[in-house]
Amino acid sequence: MRIVVYGAEQRVGAWEGDTIVDLNRAFASYLRERGESSHQQGADARLPARLEAFIAAGPAALDDARRAIEHAARSSAEPAPDGGKIVYRANDVKLHAPWPGRRIACAGGNFADHLLGMERRRSGPDVTVEEVARRAKEEGQWGFWKVPDVVAGPDDEIPYPKRTRYLDYEGEAAIILGKAGKDIPADRIGEYVWGITLLNDWSIRDGMRVTKPLSYAQAKNFDRSTSMGPCIVVGELEPQDVDVETRVNGAVRQRYNTRDMIWSFGEILELLSQDFTFVPGDVISGGTAAGTAADKTPTGPDGSRSQELFLKVGDLVEVSSPKIGVLANRIVQG
């Protein structure tokens, strides 16, 4: 099942072929067909129209969503009980970021080939990927939190931050959690993953290394510094087997699979959930692999770096995965 957020009201839909099914309206129509007098109230309670509430409603809501999709296939032309449409052509609606409005945790340095490029830029060409991976394991996990008010969706524009000359992309796979928990063992990750989506962790690369143990992570937080979508795939992907590709102006920059993460999603959740309660709709992004502008751009003898691979106004960045689709964003003047 591919779940989207669509339209001016940002309602939950299911992406079926070239159509979007409004799940709440389709389920209300299903309940009306079954003769239930309070069909709209029942649909609002069991299959909410807002993403955060839909996720929090748990597995029962997903079962109702499947019933709604089957019903819509039989009665797509009928109006919903509230007078709205049940089925839309996918090309006729605006898709928004499928972000439940919850917290976003991002793993850092979680692919050895990405770390290798960053380390060679600082230490020279003799560093090996095995050495980098071993050192990363010894030093332990690290990452950062994203604190957006707005998350960009597919085809949304990303304003170029005025404080950078080196704007970078990071195509990533992210999990959406489906139930609350803390002190969660890594081997129980399957109980908590509700779905999987794509995320672009837009990054400022000007002097982002901070020597203090705590910082405000400004290099990762600015207007629209996160984009997500185009959908959340529920029940059809394994978190540790997601193919991700990133293109800039049509040229492939990244191509990898999440099986190559140094720390799995389960290990990340285990670390972060120590004395910390995750809730339905929280997001964990798995980090990025080799191919970013930062890990492909060497530092010159004088400490300078070329801007050639870094993003410029007008560039189109597309993060894609076969089952999830394409998350495309264009850089515009900030």
What does pLDDT average to in each consecutive run of 10 residues of the chain (334 residues)? 98 97 96 91 96 98 98 82 92 97 97 88 74 92 96 98 97 98 98 98 85 84 98 98 98 98 98 98 98 92 90 98 98 95
Delimit the domains of the chain by residue range.
2-96, 104-332
Fold of 2-96: SH3 type barrels. (2.30.30)
Q: Are 67 and 30 in contact (CB under 8 A)?
A: yes
Structure tokens, 71? 């019903």
Structure tokens, 260? 């190559």
| pLDDT given for residue 121 in this prediction | 63
Alpha carbon distance 272, 155 (integer Å): 32
| pLDDT given for residue 190 in this prediction | 97
Per the DSSP assignment, residues forming a β-bridge with 13 are: 4, 22
Per the DSSP assignment, residues forming a β-bridge with 245 are: 255, 320
Backbone angles phi, psi at 89, to 5 degrees: -70, 135
Q: Which is nearest to 293 in space by CA: 325, 261, 251, 243?
A: 251
Q: Which is nearest to 232 in space by CA: 178, 287, 169, 163?
A: 178
> pTM here?
0.95
Fold of 104-332: Fumarylacetoacetate hydrolase; domain 2 (3.90.850)
